[in-house]
Amino acid sequence: MDFQLNEEQKMLKKMVHDFAEKELRDKVAGWEARGERLPREYVKKMADLGLLGLCLPVEYGGQGRTAFEAILAIEELARVSHLCASPVFEANVGPVKVIEQFGTEEQKRKYLPPVCRGDSMVSVAMTEPEAGSALTDLATRAVLDGDYYIVNGQKRFISGGGESDVYVVYVRLSEQKGARGIGGLIVEKGTPGFSFGKQEQFMGLRGMASCDLFFDNCRVPKENLVVKEGEFRKLMLAFDLERCGNATICLGIAQGALEAAMEYSQQRKQWGKEICEFQAIQFMLAEMAMKVEAARLLIYRAVVNAGAGLPSPLEASLAKCFANQMVREVTAMAVQIHGGYGYSKEYPVERMMRDGWGWGIAGGTIEIQRITIASQLLGRRFDQRR
Ligand SMILES: Cc1cc2nc3c(=O)[nH]c(=O)nc-3n(C[C@H](O)[C@H](O)[C@H](O)COP(=O)(O)OP(=O)(O)OC[C@H]3O[C@@H](n4cnc5c(N)ncnc54)[C@H](O)[C@@H]3O)c2cc1C
C-alpha cells in the first residue's frame, strides 16, 4: 500500500491549486454575494487545462486518466469554492459517467466530446416531489410510442436545472413497481414538452443552478434510452462514483475551512497573545485536521480501488457519509475559532459552513447512507416500507 501521490499526480494537484489560487480565489466572494454562476470563460479554461473529462476516454475527447486524478482536481477547486469545483465534478464523476459506462456508441460520440470541451453540461434528475429518499417510488413515466418515448412527470431539486444542456432522467418504463420498472433516459434541453421551474433559493451553494423539471407529453427519441428497465442497479453503481465526488467537495470545503482557521488563529490576538496559544483552540484545530485526514483516506481508498471503473457501494457510502458529517463539524469549528468575525460575511468560513451542509442531503441523505452501510455490512436488504 502506497500513500504517496506519483509525480504526475503531484503536478496535476499543483497545477489545479495554482489555477484556483491565482484565477479564482479573489472572485469567489463576489460571485457568492451576487448569486452568480461561474462565468463560462473559467469553464473554458478548465477545459483547456484538460480538467473536464480527466477520467473520460481519450477517443471521446477525455484525458483517459482514472477517477482518482479527477478527485484530486475537485478537492483543490472545492478548497476555494464549490462553484469552482462543480464543472470538474459534473464532467468527471457526474451523470456523464452513466453515459460513458452504459451508453451506446452513438450516445458516447454525441454527448461526451462537448462535455470535455466545456460546451455542454449533464445533470442527473432522480428526485421527485413525492420520491426523495424513497427514490424507487418515482412516478415520472416514459411510454414508448413508435420511435419516441412520451414522458410525463416532475423532478425536484435538480442541480444544474435550467443551465445544463443534457439530463439523465430516471423514469418508470413500465407499470412494474419499485426499482424493477426504472430506467434512464437522456433528455436534451429544448425538447418540446420539457420545461423548468423557478430557481431554488438554498441556504448555501449560491450560484449553483437548481430547479424543478417538468415533462408534459415530452417526446424523446427512443435511441436516448441509456439504461433500460430492470437495470436500475447500473444507475446506482454509476451514482456511487458521484457520491465519491460529493464527498470530495466536502473534503475540499473542510480543507479550506481548516486552512482559514489555522491562519486566523495565528493572527488574532486576545489577552495579549495569539489565540492559537490557547489549548481550546489547539484542540479544535487538531480535531479538524483528524477529521479532514480521515475523510481524505476514505475517499481516496474508494476511488483508488475503483481504478478505471466504479467504486464499491460500501466504500463509496462510508466515504460519503463520513465526509458529509465531517464538513458540517469542521466548518462549524472554523466559524467558532473566528469568533464574531466567523459569523460575518467578511470572512469565508460562514459560506463554507452553509455550502458544506447541503452535501449531506444531496446524493442520498446521511441517514440513508447509514442504512446502505449497515445493509452492506450485514449482507441484508432492509425494506423501509415494512
Ligand atoms: C443541494 C442539493 C442538491 C441536489 N441535487 C440533486 C440532483 O442533482 N438530482 C436529484 O435528482 N436530486 C438532487 N437533490 C435531491 C436530494 O437527492 C434529495 O433531497 C434527497 O434524496 C432527500 O430527499 P427529500 O429531500 O425528499 O427528503 P426526504 O426523503 O423526505 O427525507 C426527509 C428526512 O427523512 C429522513 N429519512 C427518509 N427516509 C428515511 C428512512 N428510511 N430512515 C431514516 N431516515 C429517513 C431523511 O434522511 C431526511 O432527514 C439535491 C438536494 C440538495 C439539497
Atom of ligand 1 nearest to the CA of 131: 26
Ligand 1: centre distance to CA 367 (Å): 10
**Which residues are within 8 A (CB) of 312 and not within 5 positions of it... i.e. 6 or more apart?**
240, 302, 305, 306
**Mean pLDDT within 201-215:** 97
Asked if pLDDT for residue 312 goes beyond 90, the answer is yes
Q: Which CATH superfamily is domain 122-229 in?
A: Butyryl-CoA Dehydrogenase, subunit A, domain 2 (2.40.110.10)
C-alpha cell at 89: 465534478
What's residue 78's pLDDT? 98
C-alpha cell at 81: 469554492
Query: Which DSSP string corresponds to 58-102?
Result: GGGTS----HHHHHHHHHHHHTT-HHHHHHHHHTTTSTHHHHHHH
- Residues 75 and 253: their CA atoms lie apart, in Å, by 8
Ligand 1: centre distance to CA 371 (Å): 14
Q: What share of the chain in percent tops pLDDT 90?
A: 95
Q: What is the pLDDT of residues 250-272, one digit of tens each?
A: 999 999 999 999 999 999 999 99
Asked if pLDDT for residue 308 goes beyond 90, the answer is no
- Residues 277 and 362: their CA atoms lie apart, in Å, by 38
Asked if pLDDT for residue 276 goes beyond 90, the answer is yes
What's residue 1's pLDDT? 85
- Taking CA atoms only, the protein residue closest to ligand 1 atom 41 is 384
Confidence of residue 362 (pLDDT cuts 50, 70, 90): very high
**Mean pLDDT within 286-295:** 98
Best of 365, 372, 373, 385 for a ligand 1 pocket test (most atoms within 8 Å of beta carbon): 365
**Mean pLDDT within 72-99:** 96
Q: Could you give the residue range(s) of every CATH 1.20.140.10 domain in the chain?
A: 233-378
Ligand 1: centre distance to CA 274 (Å): 42
Q: Are 204 and 133 in contact (CB under 8 A)?
A: no
Atom of ligand 1 nearest to the CA of 205: 1
* Fold adopted by 233-378: Butyryl-CoA Dehydrogenase, subunit A; domain 3 (1.20.140)
Q: Could you give the residue range(s) of every CATH 1.10.540.10 domain in the chain?
A: 7-117
Residue 216's Cβ-side half-sphere holds a number of Cα atoms within 13 Å equal to 8
- Taking CA atoms only, the protein residue closest to ligand 1 atom 11 is 126
Asked if pLDDT for residue 122 goes beyond 90, the answer is yes
Q: Could you give the residue range(s) of every CATH 2.40.110.10 domain in the chain?
A: 122-229
- Taking CA atoms only, the protein residue closest to ligand 1 atom 9 is 158
* Fold adopted by 7-117: Butyryl-Coa Dehydrogenase, subunit A; domain 1 (1.10.540)
- Residues 21 and 310: their CA atoms lie apart, in Å, by 31
Higher pLDDT, 17 or 383: 17
Q: Looking at 45-49, 106-110, 231-235, 293-297, which range is the least confident one?
A: 231-235
Ligand 1: centre distance to CA 327 (Å): 18
What's residue 307's pLDDT? 86
Ligand 1: centre distance to CA 62 (Å): 32
**Mean pLDDT within 310-337:** 97
Q: What is the pLDDT of residues 107-120, one digit of tens each?
A: 999 999 999 999 99
Q: What is the pLDDT of residues 25-43, one digit of tens each?
A: 999 999 999 999 999 999 9
What's residue 386's pLDDT? 86
